[in-house]
C-alpha cells in the first residue's frame, strides 16, 4: 500500500534540525577536547626508518629503468639481501607488532583515549535519540527502498504496512553520523578527530603494516625486470633536435 502520509512540519522543526545541530555541536566539542587531550607523540626511530625504506624501495621499483643496470642490481641486493637487506624481515619478527601494541603502555593509552572520545558521545547521543525521538515517523526518503531495510530504518514504528521510505529518527541520526564528516572538514580544517568512519577502517589495519609492507616491497622488487630506458631517450633526443633544427 502506497498511501501518502502527510508529515507535520513540526517534526522538521523540532526533530530533524535540532538533531543535526546537536550532532554538529558535539562534533566540534569533541574536536577541541581531543586537541587538548592529545599527548605529543615522540616518533619511533624504527617506524620512521621503515616508512622511509618503503618509500625508497617503491621509488626504486618505479624508476628502475632510469638508472644503469649495475646500479639497479647493487641497490636490489642492498634491499633484499638475505642477511642484512633492509627489506628482509626474519620470520621471528613478524608477529611482533600486535604484541607490541598491547605491551607498550603509551600506545595503549593513546588508543584507549581515542576510542573513548569516539564511543561515549556516540552512545550518549544514540540513547538520547532513542529516548526522545522514537515511535514516530520522522522523514520520507525520496527514493523507494526494498522491504529489507525496514528493520533498520523503521525501528520504533511497529506498523508493518507503512512504506519503507518513511523512516524513524534513528536513521536520521545514522545519516548525520556518516554525512557530517564533510561538513566537519570544512569547518574544522583537515585534521579533525571526528573522522569516525576513517578511524574504524584504520583500526583493522593498525600494527600489521610495517612488516607486511616490507615483505610486499621485497617481493615486488624481486620481480622487477630491468630494462634500461636510456637508449630510447637518445633516439627521442635526436627526434627533438631534428625538429628544432629544421
Partner 1 sequence: MVSKTEEAEVNRLESQADNGGGGEWEYLSLVRKLKLRRPDKVLKHGLTILNDPKKRSSLGHDEWTLYEQVAIAAMDCHCLDVAQDCIKVLQKKFPESKRVGRLEAMLLEAKGSWAEAEKAYLSLLEDNPLDQVILKRRVALTKAQGDISGAIQRLSEYLEVFMADHEAWRELAEIYVSLQMYKQAAFCYEELILSQPMIPLYHLAYADVLYTLGGLENLQTAKKYYASTIDLTGGKNNRALFGVCLCTFAVAQLTKGRYKEDKESPELQSLAAAALEKDYKLRAPSKLSLLGSTLRSLKLSS
Binding site for partner 1 (CB under 8 A): 42-43, 45, 48-49, 52-53, 55-56, 59-60, 62-64, 66-68, 71, 230-231, 233-238, 240-245
Cell triple for residue 74?
647493487
CB nearer partner 1, residue 59 or residue 115: 59
Q: Smallest distance, Å, CB 50 to partner 1? A: 10
Cell triple for residue 243?
625538429
CB nearer partner 1, residue 191 or residue 238: 238
Q: Smallest distance, Å, CB 244 to partner 1? A: 4
CB nearer partner 1, residue 82 or residue 234: 234
Paired residues of 166 in beta bridges? 140
What residue spans of the chain are helical by DSSP H? 9-11, 17-37, 45-62, 69-80, 96-103, 105-132, 150-153, 169-188, 196-204, 209-223, 230-245
Q: Smallest distance, Å, CB 66 to partner 1? A: 4
Q: Smallest distance, Å, CB 219 to partner 1? A: 19
Q: Smallest distance, Å, CB 56 to partner 1? A: 5
Q: Which residues contact 21 (CB under 8 A, 6 or more apart)?
A: none
- N-to-C CA span, the chain: 79
CB nearer partner 1, residue 49 or residue 140: 49
CA dihedral 76, 78, 84, 87 (to 10 degrees): -50
Q: Smallest distance, Å, CB 232 to partner 1? A: 9
CB nearer partner 1, residue 46 or residue 91: 46
Cell triple for residue 132?
526522545
> Which three-class secondary structure string do you get for 68-80?
CHHHHHHHHHHHH
CB nearer partner 1, residue 5 or residue 239: 239
Amino acid at each position: 500500500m502506497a498511501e501518502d502520509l502527510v508529515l507535520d512540519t513540526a517534526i522538521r522543526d523540532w526533530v530533524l534540525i535540532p538533531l543535526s545541530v546537536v550532532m554538529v555541536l558535539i562534533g566540534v566539542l569533541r574536536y577541541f577536547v581531543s586537541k587538548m587531550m592529545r599527548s605529543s607523540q615522540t616518533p619511533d626511530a624504527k617506524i620512521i626508518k621503515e616508512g622511509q625504506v618503503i618509500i625508497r624501495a617503491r621509488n626504486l621499483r618505479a624508476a628502475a629503468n632510469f638508472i644503469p643496470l649495475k646500479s639497479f642490481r647493487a641497490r636490489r641486493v642492498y634491499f633484499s639481501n638475505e642477511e642484512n637487506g633492509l627489506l628482509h624481515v626474519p620470520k621471528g619478527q613478524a608477529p611482533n607488532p600486535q604484541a607490541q601494541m598491547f605491551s607498550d603502555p603509551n600506545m595503549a593509552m593513546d588508543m584507549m583515549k581515542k576510542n573513548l572520545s569516539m564511543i561515549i558521545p556516540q552512545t550518549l547521543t544514540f540513547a538520547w535519540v532513542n529516548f526522545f525521538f522514537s515511535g514516530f515517523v520522522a522523514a520520507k526518503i525520496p527514493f523507494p527502498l526494498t522491504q529489507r531495510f525496514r528493520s533498520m530504518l523503521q525501528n520504533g514504528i511497529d506498523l508493518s504496512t507503512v512504506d519503507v521510505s518513511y523512516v524513524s529518527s534513528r536513521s536520521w541520526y545514522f545519516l548525520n553520523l556518516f554525512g557530517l564528516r564533510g561538513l566537519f572538514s570544512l569547518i574544522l580544517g583537515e585534521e579533525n578527530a571526528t573522522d569516525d568512519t576513517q578511524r574504524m577502517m584504520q583500526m583493522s589495519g593498525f600494527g600489521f603494516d610495517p612488516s607486511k609492507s616490507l615483505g610486499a616491497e621485497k617481493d615486488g622488487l624481486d620481480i622487477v625486470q630491468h630494462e634500461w630506458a636510456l637508449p630510447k631517450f637518445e633516439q627521442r633526443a635526436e627526434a627533438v633536435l631534428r625538429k628544432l633544427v629544421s
